[in-house]
Structure 1
C-alpha cells in the first residue's frame, strides 16, 4: 500500500513497482484515515508511508499503521532524510527509509531488498552495503539469536518477539544484548542501521 497525499506520486510509484513486481497488487491511500479503512478490510505486506499526511504529521502515521498491520513491513518515503528523522522512523518500527528523490531503479531495488528481509536506508546514511554473510553463523549468532534479530529487522517490539518465539522478556533482552555485542552496537535502532550497512537480509 502506498500512503501519500500526492496522487501523482502514488500513480508514479505504482507504475514503477508494477513493472518490477508484475504479480503484486498495489493500492493507494491519500490519508491515514483512508489507509486504515482499506487495511481493515484487506491487510498489506508492505507499507510505503509519507510522513506528511493531511491527517497525520511526522511519525504518527507510521505508528498508527504499524499498529493496524503489525506483520507488514513499513518503509518511510520522505523528502526529510535527516539522521534524526531516519532514527525516529526506525524506532517506530520502520524496516526502511527512502528519500523521495531516490533514483527509480535504486528505489525498486530497495523495495525488493525489504521484501527479501533486508533494511533499506539512504546510501548517504549507510554507504554502499558490504557483501552479506551466507549464514547467521557468519555473524557469530546462535540460531535463536538470529530468530530474534530477524523479528527486530521487521520492526517488531520485544512484546511481539516474546510472543512469536515463545520466550520470556528477560530471555529476549539477553539475546538482544548478545546481538548488540556481536554487531558492535548498543540499541535496536543502531542494530538495524548496522544490518543495513552490511547488506544483511533476514533469510540468510
Structure 2
C-alpha cells in the first residue's frame, strides 16, 4: 500500500509518517507540502492507494483541493485532515467524496485508532457529526451494526464500501463488474436500509453504526454477482 500525506506543516507530516511506520509498516509513505507537489505525485505514480489531505494548503482553497485530488485520481481513497471541525465543513468534504475526516486536534491514540478503523474497512468521523442526528432520522440503532443485521447482501456491502471510499457509480461498476442499473438498484437498497437519501447521509449512518465493510482484497476474491 502506498499513502500520500499532503500538508504544509513539516512537523505534522513527520509525525504522521512516524505513526504509519509504527502502525502500518507495510505501507510506503510519500509526502507533499502543497497541492502542486501532490498533483505531480498523483499524476506520476499510479501506485498511490490512499491520500490524507489537509484542507489548509497554501496553494488551494479548502474543499477545492479535495475536488482536484478526485479529478486527478478518482480511484484513490482520500481522507481529509483539518483544523476546521465544523459539521458543515465535514459534511461538505463527505459530499465531495472524502472517505473520512480527521480533526487536527485528534490525540495520538485516537488518531491511531481512527486510521486502523479506516484501514480495516470502517468509517471514522468526529463526534460533532455523529452526535448531530437530525430529528426524525430513520437511521438504524448502533446495535444493528453489521451488514447482515441491516439486511444487506455481501455484494451490497461491497457497493457501500466503494461508496464510502468516494467512488462514483462508474468506478463502482468497473471495480465490481456490475452494470450501472445494478449498482443503482444496490444503492437504492443501501439508502433504504440506512435511512439515508444521499451518499453523504449513508456515510454518516455507516459511521454511526460502526460498520466494518469488506476489504478490497476480500471484495476482489468474489466473482461478480448481481
Task: Give me the TM-score of the superposition, normalised by structure 2.
Answer: 0.81
Contact preservation (8 Å) 2:75, 2:171: no
RMSD of aligned alpha carbons: 2.0
Match of 1:22 in 2: 25
Counterpart-to-counterpart distance in 1, 2:118 and 2:67: 18
CA distance in 1, matches of 2:55, 2:185: 33
Q: Name the residue aligned to 2:78.
A: 74
Contact 2:144-2:150 at 8 Å conserved across structures:
no
Cα distance between partner residues in 2 of 1:51 and 1:143: 34
Which position in structure 1 is the counterpart of 2:210?
Answer: 199
Question: Equivalents in 2 of 1:140, 1:94: separation in Å?
Answer: 26
- What residue is the counterpart of 1:122 in the other structure? 126
Report the count of equivalent residues.
202
Cα deviation for residue 84 of structure 1 reads 1.2
Alignment CA distance shift 1:195-1:72 (3 Å): same
Aligned pairs (5 A) from 1:84-163: 84-126=88-130, 130=142, 133=145, 136-163=147-174
CA distance in structure 2 between the aligned counterparts of 1:132 and 1:34, rounded to whole angstroms: 43
Q: Distance in 2 between matches of 1:115 and 1:132?
A: 22
Moved over 4 A (4+): 129-134
Secondary structure at the aligned position of 2:181 is classed as: helix
> Of 47, 66, 87, which aligns to 1:83?
87
Q: Which residue of 1 aligns with 2:42?
A: 39
CA distance in 2, matches of 1:132, 1:114: 19
Which one of 168, 174, 186 corresponds to residue 185 of structure 2? 174
- Tell me, yes or no, if structure 1 residue 51 matches structure 2 residue 62: no
Distance 1:74 1:4, change over 3 A: same
Partner of residue 4, structure 1: 7
Contact preservation (8 Å) 1:131, 1:199: no
Q: TM-score, normalised by structure 1?
A: 0.89
